């Protein structure tokens, strides 16, 4: 059986590693070794590569800035990778190999919630801290894991900002948020149900009234029944979550049925290219994203969000638009740097406690972990589609174009 591995430090050095490879220590000389099973082949390969490049770029920038200081010495970061082939069982196997055979004591997460669900029990079993950037599922953080931490916003936060903005609109007009009438339309997959759970929590917080609560079929191709009710009952906000096909179906039928709700929020706008396919109907849509380069956040290591974006594109010029997967991957590496320096130790449990105590502002957004390991300081960011198809960052209600008033 062959294992594909890559080791990256200040520069990129490719190694092919077989089963008889000599175990690595957690720190070799002046180098701290992080490990990751990442999808470089299979269905997640594209986003796996985005993630790997984000890890590598962060390690390079940190190393060039003097590395990580522990015990009065400076250490470089290196990352050892195995290709998990987008297969959960393979990911779990390789995570154990990294820890047991290669001696890796610090893990970066894989790509996707499914792969993270497979690997987290392994790092937990061996008491190895793992900072992940690509597993958004809420259920990852209800298992009682002590060694798993995520820099990204988890799925229950995806559309929470839309509810807060609807509340802001009422307060601005000296009315109660409890007057807001909400229509919900969610596919029944685990991701959408996680998103819905977060929305329900926020609706209940404000005492808003749910007047439509429809579960849509997977691989959605028709939501006319829901939209007929929307036209009749006239909610103040319509919230939709599915995947790319569902978003495209929703936008198409909102256009065909001339649905005009003051506020519409939905997931997967960009993936479904709703702004290109249905530019009139999509005008005013609120669409969540993990990160944008125009974000007004910065840090001493990477500078502003735009600085990070430009630096990354300089190293990887094939990107015209940098995916958020790369940005959040860099943020995960940055957490390790800060935690090592705060712990002033390589001990796994001391480091784990330092990660748990992290509070930092970064180019990617604020990072602070709950006792369950999810990031509770960074919201999902909302962008609104303009009449020209462009996306504009909406950080508060005052940034919005409201109401969404489309002429059909």
> Which residues contact residue 310 at a Cβ distance below 8 angstroms, ignoring those fewer than 6 apart?
none
Same domain, 353 and 274: no
Pairwise CA distance, residues 364 & 330, whole Å: 9
Residue 82 sits in the same domain as residue 184: no
Decide if 218 is inside a domain.
yes
Shared domain check, 136 and 218: no
Any bridge partners for residue 149, and if so which? 131
Beta-strand pair 181-187/148-150: unpaired
Residue 88 sits in the same domain as residue 108: yes
Is the domain of 251 the same as that of 387? yes
27 and 100 housed in the same domain: yes
Task: Measure the CA–CA gap between 264 and 105, rounded to whole angstroms.
Answer: 45
Strand partners, 115: none
Residue 373: inside a domain: no
Residues 300 and 238 in one domain: no
Residues 282 and 318 in one domain: no
The predicted pLDDT at position 47 comes to 87
| Within-domain flag for 408 | no
Cβ-contact 88, 8 below 8 angstroms = no
Structurally, the chain folds into a number of domains equal to: 2
- Whether residues 393 and 246 share a domain: the answer is yes
Query: What pLDDT shows up at residue 220?
Result: 83
CA distance 205 to 201: 6
Taking only the tens place, the pLDDT of each residue in 205-233 is: 999 999 999 999 877 889 999 999 999 99
Asked if 37 and 82 touch (Cβ cutoff 8 Å), the reply is yes
- Domain of 263 in residue numbering reads as 157-288+381-399
Summarised one tens digit per residue, pLDDT across range 259-313 is: 999 999 999 888 788 998 999 999 999 999 999 998 889 999 999 999 999 999 9
| Averaged pLDDT, 69-89 | 97
Q: What percent of the chain has pLDDT over 70?
A: 94
Say if residue 144 is in the same domain as residue 185.
no
| CATH at residue 88 | 3.40.50.2300
- Residue 180 forms part of a structural domain: yes
Question: Where are the extended beta strands (E) located within 59-128?
Answer: 68-70, 73-83, 107-108
**Token representation of residue 305:** 């969000």
């Amino acid at each position: 059986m062959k294992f594909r591995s890559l080791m990256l430090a200040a520069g990129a050095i490719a190694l092919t590693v077989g089963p008889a490879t000599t175990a690595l220590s957690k720190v070799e000389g002046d180098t701290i070794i992080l490990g990751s099973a990442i999808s470089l082949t299979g269905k997640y390969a594209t986003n796996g590569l985005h993630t790997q490049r984000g890890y590598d770029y962060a390690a390079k920038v940190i190393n060039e800035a003097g590395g990580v200081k522990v015990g009065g010495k400076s250490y470089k970061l290196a990352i050892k990778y195995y290709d998990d082939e987008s297969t959960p069982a393979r990911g779990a196997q390789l995570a154990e190999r990294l820890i047991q055979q290669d001696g890796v004591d610090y893990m970066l997460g894989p790509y996707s919630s499914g792969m993270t669900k497979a690997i987290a029990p392994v790092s937990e079993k061996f008491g190895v801290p793992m900072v992940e950037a690509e597993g958004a599922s809420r259920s990852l953080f209800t298992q009682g894991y002590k060694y798993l931490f995520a820099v990204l916003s988890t799925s229950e936060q995806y559309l929470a900002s839309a509810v807060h903005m609807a509340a802001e609109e009422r307060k601005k007009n000296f009315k109660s948020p409890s007057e807001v009438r909400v229509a919900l339309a969610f596919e029944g997959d685990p991701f959408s149900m996680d998103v819905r759970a977060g929305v329900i929590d926020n609706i209940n917080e404000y005492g808003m009234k749910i007047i439509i609560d429809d579960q849509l079929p997977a691989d959605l191709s028709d939501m006319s029944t829901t939209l007929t009710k929307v036209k009749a009952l006239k909610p103040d906000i319509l919230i939709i979550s599915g995947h790319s096909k569902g978003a495209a179906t929703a936008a198409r039928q909102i256009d065909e049925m001339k649905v005009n709700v003051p506020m519409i929020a939905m997931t997967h706008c960009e993936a479904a290219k709703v702004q290109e396919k249905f530019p009139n109907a999509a005008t005013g849509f609120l669409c969540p994203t993990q990160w944008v380069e125009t974000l007004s956040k910065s840090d001493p290591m990477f500078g502003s969000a735009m600085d990070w974006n430009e630096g990354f594109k300089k190293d990887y010029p094939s990107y015209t638009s940098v995916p958020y997967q790369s940005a959040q991957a860099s943020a995960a590496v940055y957490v390790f740097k800060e935690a090592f320096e705060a712990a002033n130790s390589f001990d796994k449990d001391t480091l784990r406690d330092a990660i748990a105590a992290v509070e930092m502002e970064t180019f990617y957004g604020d990072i602070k972990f709950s006792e369950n390991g999810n990031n509770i300081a960074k919201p999902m960011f909302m962008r609104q589609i303009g009449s020209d198809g462009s996306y504009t960052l909406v950080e508060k209600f005052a940034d919005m174009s409201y109401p969404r008033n489309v002429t059909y």
